[in-house]
Amino acid sequence: MKSLTKRPEKKSPATSEIKGKIAMEDRTLSKNSLYLEIFNQPELDLNKSKLVGKQIPHDSALGHVTGEALFVDDITPTKNELIVDFISSPVAHGKIKSLNSKELAQQDGIAGVYTHTDIPGKNFYGPVVQDEPILAKDFVQYVGQPIAIIAGESNKAIREAKKKLKLSIKELKPVFTVDEAIFAKQFIGEKRTFKQGDFEKAWRESENILKGTFLCNGQEQFYLESQAALANPEENGDIHIHSSTQNPSELQTVVAEALGIGNHQVVCVCKRMGGGFGGKETQAAIPAVMAALVASKTGRTARVAYTKDDDMRCTGKRHPYKIHYKAAFTSKGEITGVKFDIFSNGGAAADLSSSVLERTLFHSDNAYYIPNLIFNGVVCKTNFPPNTAFRGFGGPQGMANIENVIQEIAIFLKKDALEIRRLNCYANRGRNITPYGQVVKNHILPEILDQLAKTSQYKKRIKQVEEFNRKSQTHLRGLALTPMKFGISFTTTFLNQGNALVNIYRDGTVQVSTGGTEMGQGLNTKIRQLVADEFAISYHDVKLMITSTEKNNNTPPTAASASTDLNGVAAVNACRKIRSNLCVVASNYFENQVGGLMSSAKQICFENNSVFDKRNRKNKLSFKKLVQLAFMERVSMGERGFYKTPEIEFNRDTEKGKPFFYYTMGASVSEVLIDRFTGQLSLERSDLLMDIGESINPGIDRGQIIGGFIQGLGWVTNEELRYSDKGELLSFSPTTYKIPNIQDIPDIFNVETITNPYHQINIRRSKAVGEPPLMLCLSVWVAVKHALSSVQKGKCPKLNLPATAEEILSRLTELKTQAKENVTKHGAEKESEVVLISQNELTFKNKQAA
């Protein structure tokens, strides 16, 4: 049966010693930078921490299990509220000729129908380039693109009115694949190139080379709560919006610009999301504008809640990629050069595509040192909904690139793939420069690979698998171990900032507000722990408040895994400010209380709901009393904290720099079982091992690791976006789009973390954990490739991602019937291909030709 090792609670004496040393240093150190402020301040009580490092249930767990936790569409409707829906494009590309919006507006129970002409301000928005219309003007560019907003008294009224819809569109030729886009020269942004060493030379001189094409398909975020927003009109044209968004600040701006009002007239709040995964980083904006526009036009509260079908049809997804690759390697398996030509399918507007592509370039090395390389990347513009952020943000596709190549090298050299992976893995000294110039430091990648290989009994099992494949007539097995290294920080440097507001009330309880949004990842829980520890008070005396642009301004999206890093430090910085005020109050108090004790704020210690002077530990003042005292003394007990990630920079002209504060790393090993007759796959066992630093909340982090892995499992196996030849998404609901369910998790599932003694930075020496575990899923996909490679010895199987049963069976059939190898079939983007050429053969052929 299952064995899932729970992560033991961390009580490392070594680390608390280090902290103790810092605690004895002088406070004057803290003036250098905000970063130093947190790391070098006297940590009076951190080594006696009560809460950080403990498994504490999710901040909203009680609300979740009782159903009392409200999401946007759960908020009790106000009297007179309007329901907002939209009319969308039925075609992928076309020119709008007419729409009977006036007639529709006259239907029973309809309050208004609005098109782009009704938007008083800007109709275009976008996080990087403002090229995306909120409502289509003249042209439609994808199926599902909103053309008009319809507001009604009830869903029924809207449904009835839509029966009278007359929409006339002249269809134009759409572009769907990257090949079509390349042919039509439709690109978004500039081509990017990362270079290191001399690839061409390595290619020419290498003993062995291979090349091929690889397809890596998209994925729907499938957050359970679809996009939703609720807008209230307020006096003087102001708007208040509840939105299910990862990005309240951007949404505030987009709404203000669309309505032609100031940012200060819009308040955007987000209590929680029913999942985001990146899908609500930019794309919550259109529904929010819809609701805001109706509220502004009608003076009535307006609510929009997409149906799952509409949401899946009209919002962007993980980017599909097509990659042409070339690799040069020694007969030992050492990679000497890699070239990737990466084409991303960006959809109809820029959205975040260029940033996503950038992260792909940053991660196409994954965990491997590549001395000579060229990574080219470009985003193609097509007639699909603008593709957007999704957990991993281009990282998964980048890692899939190189893992695919490495597996093929192993197949070609008839060597064990782990041996090749281990050989090329980044070292700690030498062989540690990334394609973008950052040095991979303070890591334990080789140790992770070795430990996991040992605990998962990789060597023994790979023999068993090979033996099984020789014998079984009905099934195939595959086994693979893949590493993962993910850079933490927004690669757009200015986004790496955060602010927080901390208010202490007269009873000693605390409210904290940050720009971070809660989508299930446990951000609020972790910040509660951090703040409670700052004052050494109980977890229950701290409350995380609704995220609001009224309290926290100009905040980055809750994304890039870094939200605890950014908002956590900002909150702690706010606490430190209050604490230094309180220290003065306390020291004066103790001076009066204890004869001969000179007031010294430096000597004040917070511990166990009270404070004391270190020189007189017996005399204690409860935190509650201290707060009352401070109030009477007229001391501020509300402060804002700010934080920006230090030491990071990246130059997009040279494509070199240090974009990441640190890396989160790990590895996984998976074993799959494939039915030779149906191609159906089952995941028999997975072992995950991650370095996530010192966990702030092991229970939450464990949930992130498992949840991320399973989400990735969906991407590499069963989640298939199928479109009609007209560009309509056919798999637009869970009946046809199959995310993993409870039966799909591995039969044996071991999840562990590893201690990294070199990691000494970041808030409480933790590491970001949101996105990285998703990419552990690649071991499953590679295991499929491994299984297929045993069908015809020496033949390298082609395999697209995802490896659906249909994909696997067609590859199996292909291998068995020895179908025309290396021939690109019709509909090029449906195919991956691989050509293995040894240099000698090639030379030989050339000679013959001569």
Partner 1 sequence: MRNYLLIYVNGRRHQISGERCFQSLSDFLRHDLGLVGTKVVCAEGDCGSCSVLVGRFRNNKLEFEGLDSCIQYLYQLDCTHVISVEGLKQDNQIHPVQQAMVDAMGSQCGYCTPGFVMSMAAMLETKESLTRLSIQDGLTGNLCRCTGYEQIIEAALTLPKLSKASSVMQLPSKIFNQNLVVEDFKKHASEPLLCEYVENWNGETNRARIFVPSRIKEAIEFKQKYKNVTVVAGGTDISVQINKQYIEPKCVMSLTNLKKLNFIEVKNSKVKVGANVTWTKLGEFCKQKLPELSEIISLFASRQIRNAGTLAGNIANASPIADSLPFLHVIDAEIELSGNKGKRWININKFFLAYKKTEMKPSELITSVRWNLPDSSDILKLYKVSKRKDLDISTFTAGIMLRVKHGKVKKARLAYGGVGPIVLRLPETEKFIENNPVTESVFQQAGRIASDEISPISDVRASTNYRKQLAENILIKFFHECCNNYQDKKEAA
Residues whose CB is less than 8 angstroms from the CB of residue 846 and which lie 6 or more positions away in sequence, other chains included: none
Is 718 a binding residue for partner 1 by CB under 8 A? The answer is yes
By C-beta, is 678 or 843 nearer to partner 1?
678
819 binds partner 1 (CB under 8 A): no
Q: Are 344 and 353 within 8 A, CB to CB? A: yes
* 277 counts as binding partner 1 under rule CB under 8 A: yes
Strand ranges, E, within 627-661: 638-644, 649-651, 656-658
Q: Does 789 bind partner 1 (CB under 8 A)?
A: no
DSSP 757: T
Q: Assess 781 for contact with partner 1 (CB under 8 A).
A: no
Among positions 295-314, residues that touch partner 1 (CB under 8 A) are: 307-309
161-220 binders of partner 1 (CB under 8 A): 161, 164
Near partner 1 by CB under 8 A, which window of 27-35, 71-79, 494-502, 643-651? 71-79
Beta strand 833-838 with 542-544 is unpaired
> Does residue 76 bind partner 1 (CB under 8 A)?
yes
| C-alpha to C-alpha distance for 848 and 850, rounded to whole angstroms | 5
Among 40, 89, 107, 345, binds partner 1 (CB under 8 A): 107
> To the nearest whole angstrom, how small is the minimum distance from the Cβ of residue 286 to partner 1?
20
User: Binding marks (x or -) toward partner 1, 379..418, rule CB under 8 A?
Assistant: ----------------------------------------
Candidate ranges 293-301, 506-514, 634-642, 676-684; the one touching partner 1 (CB under 8 A):
676-684
Q: Which of 226, 360, 563, 766 is in the footprint of partner 1 by CB under 8 A?
A: 226
Q: In 3-state terms, what secondary structure has residue 96?
A: strand
Q: Which two tokens stand for residue 638?
A: 């509300």
Contact string 494-523 vs partner 1 (x = CB under 8 A): -------------------------xxxx-
List helix spans (H) across 648-777.
Answer: 698-716
- Spatial CB neighbours of 817, under 8 Å, sequence gap ≥ 6: none
Strands laid side by side in the 266-270 sheet: 110-114, 146-152, 82-88, 302-305, 228-233, 239-243, 266-270, 547-548
Among 221-229, 413-421, 433-441, 541-549, the segment contacting partner 1 (CB under 8 A): 221-229
Among 93, 211, 242, 272, binds partner 1 (CB under 8 A): 272
The answer to whether residue 60 forms part of the interface with partner 1 (CB under 8 A) is yes
Residue positions annotated with a catalytic role: 771
Residue 734 binds partner 1 (CB under 8 A): yes
Beta carbon nearer to partner 1, 743 or 846? 743
State the Rg of the chain over Cα: 28
- Applying CB under 8 A, among 607, 707, 795, 828 the residue interacting with partner 1 is 707
> At its nearest, how many Å lie between partner 1 and the CB of residue 680?
7
Q: Is 817 in the site for partner 1 (CB under 8 A)?
A: no
Nearest residue to 53 (alpha-carbon basis) of 5, 4, 8: 8
Q: Is 441 an interacting residue with respect to partner 1 (CB under 8 A)?
A: no
Write each residue from 606 to 645 as x if it is in contact with partner 1 (CB under 8 A), else as -, in one continuous string. ----------------------------------------
Task: With beta carbons less than 8 A apart as the criterion, state whether 508 and 623 touch.
Answer: yes
One of 351, 613, 687, 720 touching partner 1 (CB under 8 A): 720
Alpha helices in 99-194 (DSSP H): 101-105, 155-162, 178-183
Token digits for 102?
């006036």
- Candidates 22, 809, 828, 837; binder of partner 1 (CB under 8 A) is 809
Q: Which stretches within 636-777 are classed as H helix?
A: 698-716
What is the b/e burial string over 504-517, where b = at least 16 CB atoms within 10 angstroms of the residue's CB?
beeebbbbbbbbbb
Residue 8 or 596 with smaller CB distance to partner 1: 8
5 lies in the site for partner 1, by CB under 8 A: no
Strands 266-270 and 547-548: antiparallel
* Of residues 633 and 747, the one with the C-beta less far from partner 1: 747
State which of residues 28, 743, 846, 848 lies at the interface with partner 1 (CB under 8 A). Answer: 743
Cα 16 from Cα 26, distance rounded (Å) = 18
Per CB under 8 A, the list member of 42, 57, 371, 437 interacting with partner 1 is 57
Length of the chain: 850
Pairing of strands 335-347, 372-381: parallel
Cβ proximity to partner 1: between 133 and 320 the closer is 320
